[in-house]
């Protein structure tokens, strides 16, 4: 049974499943640290201000595992809400990523991150290629044609190559979703976001390919649901919603009849609306009965859906979407996986509009590792919304190292108040 002990009693060899520090105040991907290998990590926890850790004696050594005074519940200062759900499902250990990704025809190699202009051009080409592929996919589903899995694998291969070589390609690609039909961009976004999260979880190339394909294919069942329901601008009746809910099973059954679709892609297609607490559909699965790939696709599905303009709903900022996912931890999704996604995207994701303490408005340009509250931003206008010459600001360096608190992010700005200029044609 897991128990809480003071940090002073933590010894190498113990298994740490959590600690009493908010996720955005430490640089680790997850609070589940696993087996403590040496004293250096303990010293780092002390430096960060950790006071208590939760250990699992069954997973670590017996050294110090029965220390006196250990509490069976977390300290009052730390909220822990995993009761009743058990440990989240875990992916297998990563494999060597030696296999080269397949190349999509007509696309050049991924450019280096040192060339922003080439990066932007490549992202545009990759986006256009992805749009052609997803439109072809939709036509094929409706027309009963055989799925070209190899073509989609080649597309996913470029997403994987991008996350390994030049992640800015994917962030550029995600910006372009404002310029096309949500029906098509949503699938491409899920593939890109899924690969980003999968990479953070150290998945091997095969698993990344599965996640990418599942992102592209997860909603094919919507092509088999009456179009007027999918495009309906008003709230669906309960009867209509029950029909739309059939899309996950319809998509699964359609893909099952195709050649070369991995069983885990099929499973993610079927389960991407299942939720950890049993509130999802089509089968109302709970906890570990849902495959980790399905959870991963579900998390990025929710994020992209609520940050996109849809026929029946306006979009919210990336920051608001992150807060929504944070509140779904241990309810809809496993805590560790959500935390990892938030770490990857940042508390203020790229292209979020924020207002600084000095009143200026800025757009988040990139995350700074280990500092989710202090990203790099581009200042775009003053407190009166008068445009100013754009300049990049490393808020971590200014705020944390130089004490320039006027460059702290004061608040998030929602799209209805100010739209990111980089998400408009010609804005960048």
Q: Which domains does the chain have, with CATH numbers?
A: 1-76 (no CATH), 116-345 (1.10.3210.10), 353-423 (no CATH)
Lowest mean pLDDT among 18-32, 233-247, 310-324, 384-398: 18-32
Which of 290-294, 305-309, 311-315 is modeled with the greatest confidence? 290-294
pLDDT at residue 79 greater than cutoff 80: no
Mean pLDDT (whole number) for 216-234:
90
Task: Please classify residue 140 by burial: count the beta carbons closer than 10 Å to its beta carbon, then call 0-12 exposed, 13-18 middle and 19+ buried.
Answer: middle
Cα 307 from Cα 309, distance rounded (Å): 7
pLDDT of residue 355: 94
**What's the whole-number mean pLDDT along residues 135-140?**
91
Query: 292 pLDDT exceeds 90?
Result: yes
pLDDT above 50: residue 67 = no
pLDDT given at position 176: 78
DSSP 310: B
Which SS3 state, helix, strand or coil, does residue 238 take?
helix
Check if the beta carbon of residue 336 is closer than 8 Å to that of residue 325. Answer: no
The per-residue pLDDT for 24 is: 52
Average per-residue pLDDT in the chain? 82
> Above 60 in pLDDT, residue 65?
no
Q: How confident is the model at residue 60 (pLDDT cuts 50, 70, 90)?
A: confident
Q: Cβ atoms within 10 A of the Cβ of 246, count?
A: 16
Token pair recorded at residue 211: 């996640």
- How crowded is residue 99: how many other Cβ atoms within 10 Å of its Cβ? 13
Region 374-402: what's the mean pLDDT? 89
Per-residue pLDDT at 90 exceeds 60: no
Give the whole-angstrom CA distance, residue 360 versus residue 384.
8
Q: How far apart are CA 213 and CA 171, in angstroms?
A: 19
**N residues, the chain:** 428
Task: Please give the Cα distance from 150 to 155 (Å, whole number).
Answer: 9
Q: How many CB atoms lie within 10 A of CB 292?
A: 21
**pTM tops 0.85, yes or no:** no
Residue 395 · residue 409 · CB < 8 Å: yes
**Predicted pLDDT at 66:** 39
């Amino acid at each position: 049974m897991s128990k809480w002990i003071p940090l002073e009693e933590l010894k190498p060899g113990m298994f740490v499943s959590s600690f009493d520090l908010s996720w955005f105040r430490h640089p680790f991907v997850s609070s589940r640290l696993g087996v403590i290998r040496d004293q250096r990590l303990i010293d780092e926890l002390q430096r960060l201000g950790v006071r208590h850790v939760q250990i699992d004696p069954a997973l670590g050594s017996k050294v110090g595992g029965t220390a006196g005074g250990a509490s069976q519940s977390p300290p009052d200062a730390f909220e822990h809400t995993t009761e009743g759900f058990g440990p989240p499902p875990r992916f297998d250990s990563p494999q060597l990523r030696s296999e080269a990704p397949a190349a999509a025809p007509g696309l050049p190699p991924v450019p280096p991150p040192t060339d922003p202009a080439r990066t932007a051009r490549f992202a545009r080409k990759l986006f256009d290629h992805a749009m052609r592929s997803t439109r072809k996919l939709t036509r094929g589903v409706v027309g009963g044609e055989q799925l070209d899995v190899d073509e989609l694998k080649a597309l996913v291969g470029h997403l994987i190559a991008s996350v390994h070589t030049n992640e800015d390609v994917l962030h550029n690609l995600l910006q372009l979703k404002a310029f096309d039909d949500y029906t098509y961009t949503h699938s491409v976004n899920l593939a890109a976001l899924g690969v980003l999260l999968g990479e953070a979880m150290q998945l091997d190339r095969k698993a990344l390919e599965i996640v990418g394909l599942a992102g592209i294919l997860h909603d094919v069942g919507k092509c088999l649901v009456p179009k007027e329901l999918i495009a309906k601008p008003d709230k669906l009746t309960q009867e209509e919603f029950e029909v739309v809910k059939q899309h996950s099973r319809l998509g699964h059954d359609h893909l099952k009849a195709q050649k070369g679709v991995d069983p885990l892609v099929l499973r993610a297609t079927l389960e991407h609306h299942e939720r950890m607490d049993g509130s999802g559909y089509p089968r109302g699965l709970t906890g570990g009965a849902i495959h980790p790939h399905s959870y991963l696709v579900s998390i990025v599905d929710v994020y992209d859906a609520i940050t996109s303009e849809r026929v029946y709903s306006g979009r919210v900022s990336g920051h608001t979407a992150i807060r929504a996912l944070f509140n779904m931890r241990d309810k809809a999704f496993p805590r560790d996986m959500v935390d990892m996604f938030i770490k990857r995207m940042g508390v203020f994701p790229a292209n979020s509009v924020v207002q600084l303490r000095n009143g200026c408005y800025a757009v988040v340009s990139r995350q700074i590792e280990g500092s989710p509250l202090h990203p790099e931003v581009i200042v775009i206008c003053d407190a009166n919304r008068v445009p100013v010459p754009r300049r990049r600001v490393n808020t971590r360096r200014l705020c944390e190292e130089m004490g320039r608190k006027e460059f702290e992010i004061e608040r998030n700005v929602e799209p209805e108040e100010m739209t990111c200029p980089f998400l408009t044609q010609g804005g960048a």
